[in-house]
Amino acid sequence: MSSVAVQKLPKSEATAPFFKHVDELFQAIRQRAFSFFAERGFSDGQDLEDWLNAEHEILWSPPLDLIENEKEFRIRVAAPGFKTKEIQITALPSTVFIEAQSEQKEDKVEGKAHISELGSRKLYRRVDVPSAIDVEKTTATLDDGVLELIAAKAAQPKEHKVPVVRAAA
């Protein structure tokens, strides 16, 4: 079992560089979807299909489990073939982003390749948790191709009653 680093962003102002990266991913998807549109001769009516095909081609969205108990959330994600150093996790109070990229070395093959699916892969998952987490108490491990994150629930704010008084006349 290997420990995986978790980038912890408890405050929204610290998230700007991360969201810039996410925006770059969406830009790549937009460009690929447009290329599908162009390859079809710019015919209308398949924009959603183009977008989903581009998204599927660029990002792999693996299956996951999100389990909640009284103290924490456990997120288990299928991540076969990825190494610990290839995985980046970003924890925000209401969302966990999981990203990984593996680069496979291309072997020189003599002859014509009919199928070649062993190139680089990019995994991307966004997990919105049902209630706030304490990002400082979020850990992750990778074991046998399964990434497991444990995120402690944030302390609930204490109830504070405000007395209502009659205004002076």
Cα-atom radius of gyration of the chain, to the nearest Å? Answer: 22
The 10s digit of each residue's pLDDT in 11-64 is 655 556 667 777 888 888 899 889 889 988 888 888 889 888 888 787 788 999
Contacts of 75 (CB under 8 A, 6+ apart): 64, 65, 66, 67, 96, 98, 127, 148, 149, 151
Number of helical H runs and strand E runs in the chain: 2, 9
Q: What is the pTM for the complete model shown?
A: 0.70
Q: How far apart are CA 65 and CA 52, in angstroms?
A: 23
Q: How far apart are CA 41 and CA 120, in angstroms?
A: 29
Q: Where are the alpha helices (DSSP H) in 40-107?
A: 47-58
* Crossing angle of helices 16-39 and 47-58, rounded to 10°: 120
Q: How far apart are CA 142 and CA 11, in angstroms?
A: 27
The 10s digit of each residue's pLDDT in 149-162 is 999 999 877 777 88
Please answer whether residues 152 and 135 qualify as being in contact, where contact means their C-beta atoms are separated by less than 8 angstroms: no
The predicted pLDDT at position 112 comes to 77
Domains of the chain by start residue, with CATH: 2-106+118-153 (2.60.40.790)
Q: How far apart are CA 139 and CA 148, in angstroms?
A: 8
